[in-house]
Structure 1
Amino acid sequence: MATVQPADNGAPQAGSAGTVTEQFRAIRDTLLTHRLDIEAARADFAWPEFEHFNFASDWFDPLAEGNDDPALWIIEGDGSEQVWSFDQLRRRSNQVANLLRGAGVRRGSRVMVMLGNRVELWETMLAGIRLGAVLLPTTVQLGPKDLEDRAVRGEADFVVAAAEDAVKFDDVDREVVRVVIDVPVSSAAAVGEGAGVGEGSVSYADSAAESDEFEVDGLTRADELLLLYFTSGTTSKAKMVAHTHTSYPVGHLSSMYWMGLEPGDRHLNIASPGWAKHAWSNFFTPWVAGACVVIVNYARFDAAELMDVMDRVGVTSFCAPPTVWRMLIQADLSTLKTPPQKALGAGEPLNPEVIAIVERAWGVSIRDGFGQTETTLQIGNPPGHAMKPGAMGVAMPGYDPVLIDPATGEETAEGEICLRIDPRPLGLTIGYWGDEARTAEAFIDGVYHTGDVATKDEDGVYTYVGRADDVFKASDYRLSPFELESVLIEHEAVAEAAVVPSPDPLRLAVPKAYVVLRGGFEPTAETAEDILRFCRENLAPYKRIRRIEFADLPKTISGKIRRVELRARERELHGDSGSVPSAGAMVGSGGAGSAGTAGAAGASTVDGGDSRDAEPGVREWADTDFPSLKG
């Protein structure tokens, strides 16, 4: 049954032709028409200037009503699966919206959505948007301390969570009404003592008894706050990124263009709920295009099983972070009989070698793109655009990036990626909630500062260099970790790598690689020597990796490498100047090793006789430890 709208909800907006739904569809269809012609797309595109817009009622409902095409397809680790049509999700989200309204959720209420990849997540997101609530997507991996930080700073009023996660709020110092999934009754007392759902909790299952019609309480202003996303905190405490009812829902037109999604596509994206990329690729962008969201849940990643599911489901578009792509290329890619026509990388830049391996096996190029929690897709390689190896692409329709030299503030061919904000791109955050200082800093000098560094060639193609705080100097040369990691990953033994500056008394710093090995390779001196030699042969002398350690990489819970931790660890191992090793470190002629590796190359003791124990499990070697690499 149809969602009941206010009488004037479909009225044309001032200075425009047609309803907001018709305007949005026309702009989307323009991008679809020019999906293989970026120049035409940029020339014909303009962000809509909506006064009112609600993604659920103004876009999803007209798309979904009477539409039995699949909108969401979830495959579990045990092989079971379920498919929901657009119309089913429309009706179910109406029921959930009615339940939440009965529980006290009003326009502006803050609702934490703490759910894994299960249908209730999509129902709740749509329901919250309908209601005009402010949604705080939250990963289920958080413990009570992080939850309290988010609940307090985000001023949460409600949380929708499974019973096993709702119990975590027992230790959160904020009163939050819990809407609990997997509890079959509405009475918290009937759940039993110690269940942790809390007094006054609401059973999500009661939504089944609600009407599948929903009457909105008025028009939703386009600039109303909709989302508060916590950044993953690679270098600092998580910020609250604020988005409106248009900045993400409408702003992801640029993401759709990069992905190349079309109506009827079946799009599989590997991402964890609670982070912005999940909203990008598992919620807004596919449904803007009219595509089906495909979810594969697994306890442990298995490349062969994933490709089997992709074949069976008929996945036409696949997006994954670099970690997944690196694991995939270790498997036999030829087992996927019908590869996706669209392959995408996101989260961090992909190394050219990974792209080349997939292209040889599947006949499709992995297209990189650049965006942030703060924005939609800014720069990318869209379908039909000739890719430059290693480049992240060109400016997307609606975005006008410029590279700024941080030292001079002048435009340059290599510098910080900034966005011109006159006119302001619709997909850009309105700022960091509750943090005026950080917001002002991000928008200083009349541009938005991304904090990322890139180069731009004469054809307008951008190549990623690194985070501004990851790029470092060695012997007075500026080095990009990404560039060095791209060479490392080409070695047959390297599954994943992160490069950071390691303090050195002569060069200020030298590049050090933290390496995760592929199966079948051991963390030995011989492996270290071979990788260092490979780097020596494939990098200019000033770029050479000088130290190497085999270790797991610290990551945020959204999967981004925390190089800030690795840099701090290097200071502990080698001292701030590289001349004074910290107590407990075992440093030889440039190398550090655990007591268990003494006698191996690079594992000599400090000053030839200090037997202090090193950090357990450390395996560091330097090029100076190997005679064949000296000079």
Structure 2
Amino acid sequence: MSALSPTEEFLAARDVLLLHRTDPAKAAAEFRWPRAAEFNWALDWFDTIAGRRDRTALRIVGSGGPDTDRLIGFGELARRSGQVANWLRHIGVRRGDPLLLMLGNREEVWETMLAAIKLGAVVIPTYTTATPAELSDRLRRADVRYVVAEAALADRFAGAPGEWTGIGVGGRAEGWLPYEEAAQAPVDFTPDGPTRADDALFRYFTSGTTSKPKMVEHTHVSYPVGHLSGMYWNGVVPGDVHLNISAPGWAKHAWSSLFVPWNAEATVVALDAARSTPAQVLEILRSRRVTTFCAPPTVWRGMAAEGLGPRPPALREAVAAGEPLEPSLIELVAREWGVDLRDGYGQTETTGQIGNPPGHTPVPGGMGVALPGYTVVLLDPDTGREVPDGQPGEICLDLRDRPLGLMRGYVGDEARTAKAFAGGYYHTGDLAVRTPEGGLTYLSRADDMFKAFDHRISPRELEDVLLRHPLVADAAVVPVPDPVGLWAPKAYVVRSSGRPDDSEAPGAARAILERVRAELPPEKWVRVVEFVASLPRTTSGKVRRAELRERAPGGAEYRIGAAEG
């Protein structure tokens, strides 16, 4: 019997997950990562399925209703990405060259991603809101040689360091090459040699919510193949229509707007997330007959405030990622739509590690179970030993059977890489507790935890209580100095009325603090409330806690047992 080809091995692993899509225990027991030494996802997988059928691969949502959408088939994308790969090679791009990609949700994002994979270039995805300072930092740290960006954003690169070639999309930029020239290149692409599975493919910068952004390096298998775990968690199957709310430049866009749906041979629906209102997202779910939907909790909260309305007619699966879901959202979606809103967990450094897949009824507040291909343990951050059920521990991955979806390391930071992989485990830096049934509940980042009045405080535990109050639309808790308890929890609260401060604010603050008093012991009471118009968040929805910890009070603070102060 002949050995399986890399494509056949990938397909066999994927089909195990599809076969057991509603039986997480059986899927975990039978799934094995494909371990081919050479693999190029764009050539060995995408072009292969494009040759079998030409159903719609990508649907770019237009501004004037479904008739204005741009529909692109698998075959067309395979051909166009071949042209882009040939043109990039013609202008000098070689295997291993770092290429910074900064585009909105337009078809050139997917063309360039596929072309770069075919070429073996290393992609540095970057969001279109990046500042000149952020761009200079990325160009320097990633040693960028080529930039593919919106032509209208070329001015942000003025004076940026390094020797790089700019390629403008959607217009002309002085000194930049026009991307449109790629349309004249040959369609058939021949690689210059095999792609090793451990060759670098992506360098992603983390969101920097607690520290300076790290540069995470992924390989030609860790994201393309590793996202089989995300496909399983999302519940995507061949022929599905998948909508993910995420902006290009964040790892979540590669997760759910590229590899997750196309590993399943599904259609990607793409819209301008930055300009889409909750009402528009709800309309697209219905009019484009979306079957599987992923969005951060901030988007789900916005849709809930808008009013969910009737269930989208084709919707089968609904998930959320980026930050933990509050139970009230899960309950609302179940009541209004009869759909389980399923939480999931992963990092830029990994693919989906933990989640509530189809067939696993979500427990409100629970992040789920380890996904197929991942062995998750909770370790005491101080001793390195496993913690018993019910005790907080750091989420870690056992490296004795290294999950394929794990990064290679942090580029240019050997010390941080060594720390992350210390002791035979990958250390996520996130804390959780495990129930006797094996489910996991997220607590917080390890560096978000703090001691107040000699008790360890998880900000998320307090935020869950705050978010259940009808006056609270959004909330984040951080420590502030306290003369008695060393640190005390302070809540930044966005009022449901949207007004940061008015004559009713003192009464609102008292009502919110009373809710915390009623549900938590005194050592965990929120001691200070400050109303704000909005919380600082990354595009992917994570609260920038470091910014809140460093922020000086911007308005009136309200304290337990004290008048407005």
| TM class by smaller structure | over 0.9
2:387 equivalent among 405, 409, 412 = 412
Match of 1:148 in 2: 136
Match of 1:210 in 2: 185
Hey, what's the Cα distance between the residues in 1 that align with 2:383 and 2:44?
A: 45
**Conservation of the 8 A alpha-carbon contact between 1:529 and 1:626:** no
Q: What amino acid maps onto 1:500 in structure 2?
A: V
1:448 aligns with 2:448: no
2:305 equivalent among 313, 330, 338 = 330
Q: What amino acid maps onto 1:534 in structure 2?
A: R
**Conservation of the 8 A alpha-carbon contact between 1:74 and 1:297:** no
1:92 aligns with 2:80: yes
Match of 2:24 in 1: 38
**Conservation of the 8 A alpha-carbon contact between 1:77 and 1:296:** no
Hey, what's the Cα distance between the residues in 1 that align with 2:275 and 2:48?
A: 38
Q: What amino acid maps onto 1:225 in structure 2?
A: A
1:622 aligns with 2:559: yes
**Conservation of the 8 A alpha-carbon contact between 2:420 and 2:426:** yes
Match of 1:244 in 2: 219
Residues 477, 16 of structure 1: alpha-carbon distance in 2 compared, 3 angstrom cutoff: farther
Deviation at residue 147 of structure 1 after TM alignment: 0.6
1:55 aligns with 2:30: no
Match of 1:73 in 2: 59
Q: What amino acid maps onto 1:306 in structure 2?
A: V
Structure 2 counterparts to residues 130-279 of structure 1, below 5 A: 130-183=118-171, 195=173, 197-198=174-175, 201-279=176-254
Compare 429-438 and 526-535 and name the one that shifted more: 526-535
Match of 1:606 in 2: none
Give the superposed CA RMSD: 1.7
Hey, what's the Cα distance between the residues in 2 that align with 1:512 and 1:144?
A: 33
1:113 aligns with 2:113: no
Hey, what's the Cα distance between the residues in 2 that align with 1:139 and 1:511?
A: 33
Structure 2 counterparts to residues 216-615 of structure 1, below 5 A: 216-297=191-272, 300-338=275-313, 340-413=315-388, 414-519=392-497, 523=501, 524-551=505-532, 552-569=534-551
Deviation at residue 525 of structure 1 after TM alignment: 0.7
**Conservation of the 8 A alpha-carbon contact between 1:144 and 1:171:** no
Q: Give CA deviations for 1:35-77 in whole Å, capped at 9, x if unaligned.
A: 1111111111111111100010000011112522111111134
Structure 2 counterparts to residues 1-20 of structure 1, below 5 A: 17-20=3-6
Question: Structure 2 regions of 5+ residues with no counterpart?
Answer: none
**Conservation of the 8 A alpha-carbon contact between 1:247 and 1:428:** yes
Residues 619, 335 of structure 1: alpha-carbon distance in 2 compared, 3 angstrom cutoff: farther
**Conservation of the 8 A alpha-carbon contact between 2:247 and 2:272:** no
**Conservation of the 8 A alpha-carbon contact between 1:304 and 1:335:** no
SS at match of 2:162: coil
Question: Structure 1 regions of 5+ residues with no counterpart?
Answer: 1-14, 184-190, 573-614
Compare 536-545 and 26-35 and name the one that shifted more: 536-545
Aligned length: 555
Structure with larger Rg? 1
Deviation at residue 303 of structure 1 after TM alignment: 1.9
Deviation at residue 182 of structure 1 after TM alignment: 2.1
**Conservation of the 8 A alpha-carbon contact between 1:345 and 1:367:** yes
Deviation at residue 25 of structure 1 after TM alignment: 0.6
Deviation at residue 78 of structure 1 after TM alignment: 4.9
SS at match of 1:135: strand
Deviation at residue 543 of structure 1 after TM alignment: 2.1
Hey, what's the Cα distance between the residues in 1 that align with 2:186 and 2:500?
A: 61
Residues 493, 415 of structure 1: alpha-carbon distance in 2 compared, 3 angstrom cutoff: same
Q: Give CA deviations for 1:339-385 in whole Å, capped at 9, x if unaligned.
A: 62111111111111111111111111211111000001111111001
Q: What amino acid maps onto 2:406 in structure 1?
A: L
Hey, what's the Cα distance between the residues in 2 that align with 1:90 and 1:300?
A: 29
Residues 337, 149 of structure 1: alpha-carbon distance in 2 compared, 3 angstrom cutoff: closer
Hey, what's the Cα distance between the residues in 2 that align with 1:30 and 1:116?
A: 35
Hey, what's the Cα distance between the residues in 2 that align with 1:295 and 1:335?
A: 22
Higher relative contact order (CA 8 A, sep 6+): 2
Q: Where in structure 1 do 4 or more consecutive aligned residues deviate above 6 Å? A: none
SS at match of 1:171: coil
Match of 1:64 in 2: 50
**Conservation of the 8 A alpha-carbon contact between 2:50 and 2:74:** yes
TM-score under structure 2 normalisation? 0.95
Structure 2 counterparts to residues 119-134 of structure 1, below 5 A: 119-134=107-122
**Conservation of the 8 A alpha-carbon contact between 2:242 and 2:292:** yes
Residues 618, 339 of structure 1: alpha-carbon distance in 2 compared, 3 angstrom cutoff: farther
Q: What amino acid maps onto 1:560 in structure 2?
A: K
Hey, what's the Cα distance between the residues in 1 that align with 2:273 and 2:293?
A: 16
Deviation at residue 304 of structure 1 after TM alignment: 2.1
Residues 298, 560 of structure 1: alpha-carbon distance in 2 compared, 3 angstrom cutoff: closer
**Conservation of the 8 A alpha-carbon contact between 1:493 and 1:521:** no
Q: Give CA deviations for 1:368-403 in whole Å, capped at 9, x if unaligned.
A: 111000001111111001322211010111111111
Q: Give CA deviations for 1:564-600 in whole Å, capped at 9, x if unaligned.
A: 222233xx5xxxxxxxxxxxxxxxxxxxxxxxxxxxx
Q: What amino acid maps onto 1:72 in structure 2?
A: L
Compare 334-343 and 108-117 and name the one that shifted more: 334-343
Hey, what's the Cα distance between the residues in 2 that align with 1:204 and 1:520?
A: 43
Q: What amino acid maps onto 2:528 in structure 1?
A: R
TM-score under structure 1 normalisation? 0.85
1:29 aligns with 2:10: no
Compare 538-547 and 97-106 and name the one that shifted more: 538-547
**Conservation of the 8 A alpha-carbon contact between 1:268 and 1:294:** yes
SS at match of 1:122: helix
Hey, what's the Cα distance between the residues in 1 that align with 2:327 and 2:276?
A: 23
Hey, what's the Cα distance between the residues in 1 that align with 2:440 and 2:470?
A: 28
Compare 370-379 and 291-300 and name the one that shifted more: 291-300
Q: What amino acid maps onto 2:520 in structure 1?
A: L
Deviation at residue 521 of structure 1 after TM alignment: 5.8
Hey, what's the Cα distance between the residues in 1 that align with 2:31 and 2:186?
A: 40
SS at match of 1:624: coil
SS at match of 1:28: helix
Query: Percent of aligned positions with the same letter in both sequences?
Result: 52
Deviation at residue 520 of structure 1 after TM alignment: 6.3
SS at match of 2:415: helix
Q: What amino acid maps onto 1:623 in structure 2?
A: I
Hey, what's the Cα distance between the residues in 2 that align with 1:339 and 1:266?
A: 9
Hey, what's the Cα distance between the residues in 2 that align with 1:324 and 1:16?
A: 49
Hey, what's the Cα distance between the residues in 2 that align with 1:368 and 1:358?
A: 13
SS at match of 2:385: coil
**Conservation of the 8 A alpha-carbon contact between 2:22 and 2:359:** yes
Q: What amino acid maps onto 1:181 in structure 2?
A: V
**Conservation of the 8 A alpha-carbon contact between 1:266 and 1:291:** yes
